[in-house]
Amino acid sequence: MQGFTIRRVVEDTTPLRDFLMKDMGISRKMLTLVKHEGKIEVNGIHRTVRHELERGDEVVVTFPNESPSPHMTVSNRPIRILYEDDSLLAVDKPAGIATIPSRLHPTDTLANAVLGHYARIGLSSTVHVVNRLDRDTSGVVLFAKSGFIHHRLSELQKTNRLTRTYVALVEKEVSPQTIDAPIGRAEGSIMERTVTESGQHAVTHILDCQNFNRDFLLTIRLETGRTHQIRVHLRHIGHPLIGDSMYGGANRMLRHALHSASARFIHPLTDEEVSIEAPLPQDFRYT
């Protein structure tokens, strides 16, 4: 069975292999899969990647059909959909649920719930998570409905063309600034991270700080995506998240006050700008 299909019109003479990889954004690994299990056509005729394209040719690539992992359990947990089309899904993740299955949370995760949504709409696909959030972080999580879209969105993330904005609650005012401090695993801990010279490069931009009830609401953009990055960097500058017991935050919420508020990117198929927003969660308003 064949699955996801994309088509493009050629603008200049070029080898088909180059067009598939450079213009259509198909990775080398995925191209090998398409050659063996999918279909590549030029003007309706099957062609090998050695074919020379001419201006005006139409290239159609059909990817192999995907199937969900047999090890993943379908969950009927409801999801709040922020955006959906034939290739993308964006969900407003609640706090207290893991993004993907793990040893501690093997079944009732956001990914399991998305698999349940796919079953309800008749989509046979692997669950491709584009961005993960900590269990107690809420907000926008993106899912790609095919391996090709997942690859394209991952490439956008690497080059900061998929931007995600977070909001966070702290007790004291913080001036807008950039925190450039490497993050690594804290000594003697599996989960905790810390700023350390031996850590990985990590950059956090605090864009704005506003009064919010008796606290302060920060708007934050990540340049890198290290584990617990915002939480670690805010502790590093002396402003831990409210509710973040691991990193010294005030014990005034049942979870750390961090929310993935928005995601913006150019759609990998339509080239149109997509802007997705998740409303501020209720527990932020009653700290």
Residue 232: give its domain's CATH number. 3.30.2350.10
Res. 2: pLDDT tops 70: no
User: Mean pLDDT over residues 165-185, rounded?
Assistant: 97
Contacts of 109 (CB under 8 A, 6+ apart): 75, 97, 98, 99, 100, 101, 102
Number of domains in the chain: 2
User: Mean pLDDT over residues 151-167, rounded?
Assistant: 91
43 within a domain of the structure (yes/no): yes
Res. 281: pLDDT tops 90: yes
| Percent of the chain whose predicted confidence (pLDDT) is above 70 | 99
The per-residue pLDDT of the chain, averaged, comes to 94
Q: How far is CA 139 from CA 16, 66, 98, in A?
A: 41, 27, 12
Residue type, 243: G
Res. 105: pLDDT tops 80: yes
251 within a domain of the structure (yes/no): yes
37 within a domain of the structure (yes/no): yes
Grouping H, G, I as helix, E, B as strand and the rest as coil, residue 18 is helix
Show the beta-strand stretches assigned E in 175-257.
Answer: 177-180, 183-185, 193-195, 203-212, 215-222
What is the C-alpha to C-alpha distance for residues 108 and 76, in angstroms, rounded to an integer? 9
Grouping H, G, I as helix, E, B as strand and the rest as coil, residue 154 is helix
What is the C-alpha to C-alpha distance for residues 266 and 264, in angstroms, rounded to an integer? 7
134 is catalytic: yes
User: Mean pLDDT over residues 134-142, rounded?
Assistant: 96
pLDDT in tens, 23-65: 999 999 999 999 999 999 999 999 999 999 999 999 999 998 8
DSSP summary character for residue 73: P
278 within a domain of the structure (yes/no): no
Q: Which domain holds residue 208?
A: 165-260
CB 195 within 8 A of CB 240: no
Give the pairing of strands 163-170 and 258-266. antiparallel
Of 69, 83, 68, give the one whose Cα is nearest residue 118. Answer: 68
| Percent of the chain whose predicted confidence (pLDDT) is above 90 | 83
155 within a domain of the structure (yes/no): no
Q: What pLDDT is stored for residue 1 in this prediction?
A: 42
279 within a domain of the structure (yes/no): no
Name the token pair of 212. Answer: 């919010």
Res. 18: pLDDT tops 70: yes
Q: Which of 18, 23, 86, 134 is catalytic?
A: 134
- Which of 64, 93, 108 is a domain's end point? 64
Place of tokens 């926008």: 140
244 within a domain of the structure (yes/no): yes
Read off the CATH number of the domain in which 25 is found. Answer: 3.10.290
User: Mean pLDDT over residues 89-105, rounded?
Assistant: 93
pLDDT: which is higher, 69 or 98: 98
Res. 171: pLDDT tops 80: yes
205 within a domain of the structure (yes/no): yes
DSSP alpha helix (H) spans, the chain: 16-18, 28-37, 110-121, 147-158, 229-236
Burial label, 104 (beta-carbon count in 10 A; 0-12, 13-18, 19+): exposed
- Which of 38, 64, 90 is a domain's end point? 64
Point out which residues pair with 264 in neighbouring strands: 163, 275
Least confident interval from 5-14, 175-184, 203-212:
5-14
- Which of 64, 81, 105 is a domain's end point? 64
CB 260 within 8 A of CB 278: yes
